[in-house]
């Protein structure tokens, strides 16, 4: 499995579509903050202005644009930009929206209304990865359909027609397509803008990516800096310096962090004995594994498993 797919699988990304909108100006909606999610808005038709909490600049979204607000940050959507903002709960209550069809604000939708496909991508509590942590608070991809492959452009249009419709299977189709859209958006951002960003740059570097791929292909292997450097085709010193510079952590720190995410997933999703989780995570003994796990998650593996099951 490739790096990005492996990371998103382990952090258990799951897509959720809130609704498809038909907003007639003037309108404004405040989307509250929420943990462990990245929200997205795709402009199927029209335009809107987005302001993210803590940022001064307002971003104009036009037809075909996609925006991802990472880290669960609160933000507002509006047209025009200086209109009074209502909370999302107020808007839903006033519109009588029951989760089916489109969320409508204003007069009957016209050719000049704003149609958005809105949703979020949730990640498992406790799931962390340098790639996701390094994403900016706001990712704006203009004319997303135009810069994506033809099949993705078709998928965006399909989501627009399926989201919130009453067609058989429409919700499942739209959800699965939404997860594809997010993955493609992250890939595009990493490849086009991540060359000089800490945490992202390593995934663009041909040498470092070879070492990362080796870790992900065989995380339980007894990797050393020397063996990872050999995989990268670099000297030990050059590899260590470049890895730390691009990912802001040492190779062995990255290895440990990834092993802990694998362990978190195994403890949450399986009933494997802890000693087996330890072995699959690259540790030769349960005691050694438990020490590292507790240092990382602040509680022992058995207690972590009990808390997740209780939750």
Region for 218 from its dihedrals, namely left if φ exceeds 0, alpha if ψ lies in -120 to 50, beta otherwise? beta
Matching CATH number, 205-310, of 1.10.10.60, 3.40.630.10, 3.30.2000.10, 3.40.50.2300: 1.10.10.60
Choose among 272, 202, 266, 250: nearest CA to 3.
Answer: 202
Q: Is-above-0.75 flag for pTM?
A: yes
**Which two structure tokens, joined as six digits, stand for 46?**
């029209």
Q: Report domain extents, the chain.
A: 3-193, 205-310
Q: Say which DSSP state 32 is in.
A: P
| Cα dist from 14 to 6, 33, 86, 126, 177, whole Å | 14, 18, 28, 15, 11
Q: Do domains 3-193 and 205-310 have the same CATH topology?
A: no
The answer regarding whether domain 3-193 maps to CATH 1.20.120.640 reads no
**131 SS3 class:** helix
pLDDT tens for each residue of the chain, 311 residues long: 588 889 888 888 776 666 677 888 889 999 888 888 888 888 888 899 999 988 888 999 998 888 999 888 899 999 998 889 998 888 888 877 766 666 777 766 566 688 888 888 888 888 889 988 888 888 888 877 665 555 555 665 666 555 555 555 555 666 666 677 778 778 878 877 777 777 788 888 999 999 999 999 999 999 999 999 999 999 999 999 999 999 999 999 999 999 999 999 999 999 999 999 999 999 999 999 999 999 999 999 999 999 988 86
- What's the token pair of residue 13? 């990304």
CA dihedral 303, 306, 310, 311 (to 10 degrees): 60
């Amino acid at each position: 499995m490739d790096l990005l797919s492996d990371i998103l699988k382990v952090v258990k990304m799951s897509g959720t579509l809130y609704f498809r909108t038909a907003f007639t100006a003037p309108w404004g909606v405040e989307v509250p903050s929420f943990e462990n999610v990245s929200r997205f808005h795709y402009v199927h038709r029209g335009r809107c202005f987005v302001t993210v909490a803590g940022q001064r600049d307002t971003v104009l979204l036009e037809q075909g644009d996609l925006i991802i607000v990472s880290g669960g940050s609160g933000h507002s959507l509006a047209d025009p930009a200086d209109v009074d903002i209502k909370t999302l709960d107020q808007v839903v209550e006033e519109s009588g929206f029951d989760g089916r069809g489109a969320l409508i604000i204003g007069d009957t939708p016209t050719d000049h209304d704003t149609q958005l496909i809105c949703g979020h991508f949730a990640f498992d509590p406790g799931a962390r990865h340098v790639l996701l942590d390094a994403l900016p608070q706001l990712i704006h991809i203009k004319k997303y359909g135009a810069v994506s492959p033809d099949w993705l452009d078709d998928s965006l249009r399909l989501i627009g027609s399926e989201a919130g419709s009453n067609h058989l299977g429409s919700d499942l189709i739209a959800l699965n397509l939404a997860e594809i859209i997010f993955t493609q958006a992250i890939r595009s951002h990493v490849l086009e803008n991540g060359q000089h960003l800490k945490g992202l740059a390593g995934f663009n570097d041909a040498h470092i990516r070879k070492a990362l791929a080796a870790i992900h292909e065989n995380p339980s292997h007894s990797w050393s800096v020397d063996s990872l450097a050999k995989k990268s085709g670099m000297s030990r010193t050059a590899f260590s310096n470049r890895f730390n510079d691009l990912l802001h952590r040492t190779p062995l720190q990255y290895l440990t962090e990834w092993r802990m995410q694998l362990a978190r997933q195994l403890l949450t999703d399986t009933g494997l004995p802890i000693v087996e989780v330890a072995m699959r995570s690259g540790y030769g003994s349960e005691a050694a594994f438990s020490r590292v796990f507790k240092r990382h998650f602040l509680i022992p593996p058995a207690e972590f498993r009990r808390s997740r099951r209780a939750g």
